[in-house]
Amino acid sequence: MKAYSREFLEQLYRTLYTIRVFETECIKLYRQGLIIGYFHPYLGEEAVATGACAALREDDYIVSTHRGHGHCIARGGQLNKMVAEVLGRETGYCKGRGGSMHIADIATGNIGANGIVGGGLPIGVGVAMGVHVRGSDQVTIIFFSDGACNNGVFAESLNLAAIWNLPVVFMLENNQYAVSSPVEEMSRVPDLYKRGEGYGVEAHQVDGNDVLAVYEKTCEAVDTCRLGKGPVLLEAKTYRHSGHHVNDPGTYMPKERLEYYRARDPIKIARNNLIEHARCTDQDIEAIEQHINQQMEKAIEFGKNSAQPSVEAFLEEIETN
């Protein structure tokens, strides 16, 4: 392993753990009926967003998905506004108008989640096109999963980014399912990064449960993009720890497979890094976790205490539409 500062490894751990806690606590809120609609947890996939976003500069961009909480947090999103949004409150990122599937955080360059699978792909390429026209060197990471690779816009977007050498990292979170459909049944070549070659796009596979592996590969890809030699396609193999959304028991996920990936829990791996390479103690880590737990509690408090959007104000707002 390369040498990383304790500070950096702690920072990664903080992000991973924050995502874990956010999802875990929100699932509780969902089961209490306080969150409604679709809620797609990122549990088990935390290392992808965390490693990828750690490779970015502050003025870079990301484009997220329906499973977007992890991306938002990894990019520096605020728990208060996130919780408030999934609770549908006026203080949320989208004033309660968007909900889980539409959180966007323009301040951190997070163009937003998307309810259309694959919808973010062309949008992200367009963000990069804007960069290109302006002559800047910002990089855009587009997150998407295996299912989105079968929406035609994946191939189109890959090709468009390629012919214009756009600074895009296509970050394929291959969690091996589109809802209940296993990637092996939806493509003859489940190693989806292999689609890159036909379009002349540099492509690699990486262990999506190992935050440092993701970080390192993304750094390389970002460098390539920054030099005007993009795009790069990265496939991070990972697995969900639960069903597609909160109400999906995920019975189609074979037990052994799930166990295998649970054993390779990204949080555990990152925790080990801290202990083995940064001389952190269990107590050090507990302190970090404690702090995050408290932040999340406060965020929930904030969300719950926030006002519902005013129906009257809303109706007035849309009068002029």
Partner 1 sequence: MSTETVNTDIKMRELMVREALNEALCEELARDERVFIMGEGIAQRGGSYKVTVGLLDKFGPKRIIDTPISEASFTGMCVGAAITGMRPVVEILFIDFTSLIIDQIVNQAAKYRFMSGGKGRVPMVLRTQGGSGNGLAAQHSQSLEAWYYHTPGLKVVMPSTSYDAKGLLKSAIRDEDPVVFIEHKLLYMDKGPVPDTDYTIELGAGDIKRPGNDITLVAWSGMVKRTLAAAEELSAQGIDAEVIDPRSLVPLDKEMILSSVRKTEHLIIIQEAIRRGGVASDIASIVQEEAFDYLDAPIKILAGKNTPIPFNVNLEKACVPRQEDIMRAVKEILNT
Ligand X SMILES: Cc1ncc(C[n+]2csc(CCOP(=O)(O)OP(=O)(O)O)c2C)c(N)n1
Binding residues for a second copy, rule: CB under 8 A, are: 150-156, 159, 162-163, 185-189, 194-201
Site for ligand X in 193-222 (CB under 6 A): none
Helix (H) or strand (E) holding 207: strand 202-207
Report the partner that residue 306 touches, choosing among partner 1, ligand X, a second copy, none (CB closer than 5 to 8 A by kind). none
Amino acid, res. 23: E
Q: Interface with ligand X includes 157 (CB under 6 A)?
A: no
Residue nearest to ligand X (CB): 147
Q: Which of 105, 146, 207, 289 binds ligand X (CB under 6 A)?
A: 146
Does 117 bind ligand X (CB under 6 A)? Our answer is yes
Cβ distance to partner 1 smaller for residue 181 or 293? 181
Residue 300, CA distances (Å) to 31, 74, 97, 304 in order:
15, 19, 18, 6
Number of residues in contact with ligand X under rule CB under 6 A: 18
- 238 belongs to the binding site for Mg ion (CB under 5 A): no
Q: Does 100 bind ligand X (CB under 6 A)?
A: no
d(CA 299, CA 82): 8
β-bridge pairing 181-182 and 177-178: antiparallel
Q: Is 125 in the site for partner 1 (CB under 8 A)?
A: yes
Q: What x/- string results for residues 139 through 168 when contact with Mg ion is judged by CB under 5 A?
A: ------xxx---------------------
b/e map 65-91, b = 16+ CB within 10 Å = bbbbbbbbbbbebbbbbbbbbbbbbbb
Of residues 179, 174, 214, 171, the one with CA closest to residue 191: 174
Cα(12)–Cα(269) distance, integer angstroms = 11
CB of 145: closest distance to Mg ion in angstroms? 3
Tokens of 115: 């309810």
Report the distance separating Cα 144 and Cα 195, nearest Å: 14
> Smallest distance, Å, CB 152 to Mg ion?
17
- Residue 310 CB, shortest distance to ligand X, in Å, is 30
For residues 133 and 20, what is the distance between their CA atoms, to the nearest angstrom? 38
- Does residue 98 interact with partner 1 by CB under 8 A? yes
32 binds partner 1 (CB under 8 A): no
What value, to the nearest 5°, has the Cα angle with vertex 230 and ends 229 and 236?
A: 135
Give the binding site for ligand X (CB under 6 A). 40, 65-67, 115-118, 145-148, 151, 175, 177-179, 244
